[in-house]
Structure 1
Amino acid sequence: MHSVLLIRLFTFVEEYDSLDGLRQITMASGLYVAFKSLYNVEGGHRAIVFNRIHGIKDRVFPEGTHFKIPWFEWPIIYDVRAHPHLVLSTSGSRDLQMVKIGLRVLTRPEAEKLPLIYRTLGLNYNERVLPSIIHETLKSVVARYNANQLLTQREKVSGEIRDVLTKRAANFNLALDDVSITAIAFGKEFTSAIEAKQVAAQEAERAKYLVEKAEQDKKAAILRAQGEAKSAQLIGKAIANNPAFIALRRIEASREIAETISHSANRLFLNVNGLLLNLEGMNAQKCKQ
């Protein structure tokens, strides 16, 4: 918009070149003052105005084009969109382990408090406030947990850090849209101890599995032996009660042998007496008796 006004200013001077010099100067000065009286606030930004007489005004100007008094006033533009900040901090846990924590904070200024923010913190409010309150919060929260809890209760720790940090930032008129732990790292000794513990736990689980498998195999062997003994007992009773039972079993065995041979690539020739396990001879001998 400023460039458009400048173009109109020069065009106006060229068109009215025939006017006297005083009138030209007056009109050009008027257009220049009008040009200097406007300023734009882009999307996602807010403006406050500094006045040479009254200082910072309490009004916050939204997006759009606004008026100001040239030379006596000038705008101060703030970006009120949320921006991420990654902070790395080293803190001590309750069991005296050194912990390196990476914290991602999504922060923005409270738009209605911009005049107060400028009076107390200036434009670089993030650099002045965030590092100190984040380090302070991390040290106070991490000291309440031991190293194992920081690993197993990460979500709880992150929530507590978010609550404490949100309250601390509100004291400086800053809003936190998101706080999350991006990384947790321990010293080499503690990391080695954790790895050794994990290996020992895996070995213990494997040993437990082998013991349970041996128990199951033992139970299966007992059940199998009991089943075979019961089967032998039943077969013995069947033979005692009916001598033809064993002949029936031999016929079934012969059928299985014949079925197996018929599907084999090798061809064998067996006589009937051999295949039927000499049942006819048994019957003849039984008849003689």
Structure 2
Amino acid sequence: MLCGRRGFSFGCVALVKSIYTVDGGQRAVLFDSIRGVRDFTVGEGTHFLIPFLQKPFVFDIRTRPFAISSVTGTKDLQMVNLTLRVLSRPDINRLPEIFRTLGQKYDDKVLPSIGNEVLKAVVAQFNADELLTERPHVSALVRDSLMRRASEFNIVLDDVAITHLSYGAEFSKAVEQKQVAQQDAERSKLLVAKAELERRAAIIRAEGESESAKLISDATAAAGIGLIELRMIEAGKDNAASMCRNGSVMYLPDSSSNMIVGVNPGH
């Protein structure tokens, strides 16, 4: 009777061990102690195996995010800090090979290594400032190169994106100095333009004064000495009228001459 109970218990344990379940978003690889890793993938659902001889290894086949950070040098020897966000999943048809060569933690073993390799190779083709001005092109190169490299390990990358990019202190200082130099250059251009405008204005003003003097000279030459005498008479009248207003002199104009007579109120 004791043997019967033991046999029943062993049978229950064997039955439990012979059943396993693969959940949604998962696949299983079956390892056989005699034949090794089987060359097929087990899908979702409940399955049977030979207890104590076979063992299932379950893989998550859903797309998962993975971050890769790298510090590398640019073409002009500037250090840049880059972070990639990678969405990866295993190639379902290659799960037995992945398990055989890399194990269940395949992404931790492969992605950081190939990510750093690709980043260093791509960044070395560009100057530091080109990483900003040509960022879409840089991202495309990184994405294509990393997808191609990951496929060699039977890993599918659904998306690759540069999420962080920063430079070292030396480059930041150089950029600041360049901006200051550009501002100084623009300021110098404005000063030169202002000086040029002032020079042109002075030339135009001098030409105007010269033209005015020429016109006066031409008018004088055309009118003769009479114009000069007329200006002298008009100036003399103005001076005499001014002196008469103070009461000490009297201005007596006539047809032949202009007379100024002194008047002394006390005599």
TM-score, normalised to structure 2, is 0.66
Structure 1 residue 101 corresponds to structure 2 residue 110: no
Q: Per residue, is there more helix in 1 or in 2?
A: 1
TM-score, normalised to structure 1, is 0.61
The structure number with the bigger radius of gyration is 2
Partner residue of 1:129?
110
Change (3 A) 1:95 1:26: same
1:119 to 74, 91, 100: 100
Amino acid at match of 2:162: I
Q: Distance in 1 between matches of 2:190 and 2:147?
A: 48
Partner residue of 2:156?
175
Structure 1 residue 44 corresponds to structure 2 residue 6: no
Query: What is the RMSD of the two structures over their aligned residues, measured on CA atoms?
Result: 2.7
After TM superposition, list the pairs within 5 Å mapping 1:1-289 onto structure 2. 23-198=4-179, 201=182
Q: Distance in 1 between matches of 2:89 and 2:124?
A: 28
Q: Distance in 1 between matches of 2:96 and 2:4?
A: 41
Change (3 A) 1:38 1:165: same
Structure 1 residue runs without a partner (length 5+): 1-19, 213-289
Q: Distance in 2 between matches of 1:38 and 1:75?
A: 10
Q: Shift in Å at residue 47 of structure 1? A: 0.4
SS at match of 2:95: helix
Q: Distance in 2 between matches of 1:45 and 1:209?
A: 68
Higher mean C-alpha displacement, 70-79 vs 80-89: 80-89
Q: Distance in 2 between matches of 1:205 and 1:179?
A: 40
Q: Shift in Å at residue 187 of structure 1? A: 1.6
Q: Distance in 1 between matches of 2:189 and 2:61?
A: 59
Amino acid at match of 2:142: I
Q: Distance in 1 between matches of 2:115 and 2:184?
A: 41
SS at match of 2:129: helix
Percent of aligned pairs sharing the same letter: 48
Q: Distance in 1 between matches of 2:189 and 2:49?
A: 80
Deviations 1:61-110 (A, max 9, x none): 11111101000001011111122111111111111111111111111111
Q: Distance in 2 between matches of 1:24 and 1:145?
A: 75
